[in-house]
Amino acid sequence: MQLIVQPTPLEKIKADLLVVNTFAGDTKPNGGTGAVDKKLHGAISKKIKSINFLGKNAGDYFLLDNHQSTGPKQIMVISLGERKNFSLDVIRKVAALSLLEGKKQNAKIITTILHGAGNGGQNAQQCAQSLTEGILLSNYHFDKYLNEQKKINRINKIKKIIISQRNKKNLTAIKQGIKLGTIFAEGQNFARDLVNEPGLTMDPKVLADTAKNIAAKNKNISVKIFTQTDIAKLGMNAFLAVAAGSEKNPYFIHLTYQPQTKPQRKIVVVGKSITFDSGGLSLKPADSMTTMKCDMAGGAAVLGLFSVLSKLQPNVEIHGLLAACENMPSGSAIRVGDVVQAMNGKTIEILNTDAEGRLTLADALTYAEKLKPDFIIDLATLTGAAIVALGENIAALMTDNKELENKLIKAGESTGEKIWPLPLEKNYLSHIKSNVADIQNVGKGKGVAGTIAAGLFLQQFVKKTPWAHLDIAGPAWTEDKSIPYLTVGGSGWGVRLLLDYIKNL
């Protein structure tokens, strides 16, 4: 599928489907939509009136057949919602709906207006980037295990999507936006493939091999793979405690991106990488295990980020860390009541083997700080409490640094990957105080500030470096279809947020 910009009026481009927009309450189209309406002798205006189209919600739309001999065969008029609520994510959503409707209509060529660049008052490059992301993300399918007929039915027949832009001054910006949108979407789709792969075929070694392949394809990316023996020598006993119950060997993965010029900043991104989480001896109920191949979504986001860094070429030194293992029950598994010593010397009492992610992250964060970065960011499907607090579409943010908090929130607003800050409440440190060790791995009191307790636990393993923890338990996996550019399954959440954050450092 080709995505291009063309300095030709909308009404003159031959296409199977033409996509134009309107805002809620607009009864008379203007701008590009108005030009098309005029060409169609007021057909759009008449349709809006005849069906009483209000367009209150972004994504509401109607179709209109073009009975003229020239121009597009069909027109899709889609609402951008209320002007006051318009955002870049609205562009992603309406772009996604446009592509999905084009597929329904068996369209081969779609022409679209650049949503938001006119009456929306947005930057043309950002609009083009968001539109590209919406198209490419909604075109994603994980069909590796489908039969051939189902694969054929999913084949995209759309050959070309044309963005019509009369203002030639915007062409360069739009092309750059398409390029960035393609990079961002490719990184996210890469992560989605990893998360959607079953635990049987996505084990720690596969994550290590994926990191090796990324490094092999990119000259400015290198990788170190630490085996179980290496991990033991590093003193990562909390990580090894989680891996102890599995027949699969653990791997600690360290990716490094070095820019061609002297870097302005140095950051470390850590991703929780439990390739399957049974809960260990604190075994999860069967229903709670159905999505646990997703427990490496943080690591997948890190790999998705590194898969496209060489295309983005940020002037930032970036390290990616994955402590990859399974959490399984067996005779060798860690027990409730056991005490382990982490890499930084702290002792941890294990009161629940299903609170395993924070154990692997404890050692990974200790290692991260030894790299002496400016910032550390971790992403982890860490607590069900985060879903209770914020639902399935918003990640929890905990940080001890206001600059980092503000930049991550801004990146979330730009990418539509929403985050919400929770406090690292010092009074809750008592929740993780142990009677037999320095700390315990779960908070006191079932369901009481579980997400914050987990954040406070992780904070014990970062001494001085500005650090942010993103609990992505909710948005890492998509069950509903409220976001049209995401299909059911792994979302690849966090890749675009990280890319946006890094791009704007």
Active site positions, annotated: 284, 358
Count of CB atoms within 10 A of residue 56's CB? 11
Pick the closest to residue 484 from 78, 10, 178 (CA basis). 78
- What is the spatial distance between Cα 112 and Cα 32, in angstroms, rounded to a whole number? 10
> Residue 106 class from Cβ within 10 Å (0-12 exposed, 13-18 middle, 19+ buried)?
exposed
* Cα dihedral value 363, 442, 250, 226, nearest 10: 0
CA-closest candidate to residue 440, choices 368, 333, 340 = 340
Q: How far is CA 299 from CA 46, 205, 252, 380, 488, in A?
A: 52, 13, 11, 8, 19
Cα gap 408→504, rounded to integer Å: 10
**Amino acid, res. 300:** A
Q: Distance between CA 493 and CA 476 in Å, rounded?
A: 5
* Short-list 54, 44, 107, CA closest to 80: 54
Q: Give the separation between CA 53 and CA 331, rounded to whole angstroms.
A: 64
Cα gap 362→375, rounded to integer Å: 16
SS3 category, 70: coil
- 3-class SS letters over 392-461: CCCEEEEECCHHHHHHHHHHHHHHCCCEEECCCCHHHHHHHCCCCCCEECCCCCCCCCHHHHHHHHHHCC
At CA 156, angle to CA 152 and CA 161, rounded to 5?
Answer: 170
Of 215, 68, 65, 180, which Cα lies nearest the Cα of 414? 180
Closest CA to 447 of 393, 390, 384: 384
The Cα 219–Cα 436 span in angstroms is 48
Give the list of residues 6+ apart from residue 284 with CB closer than 8 angstroms, or none.
277, 278, 292, 354
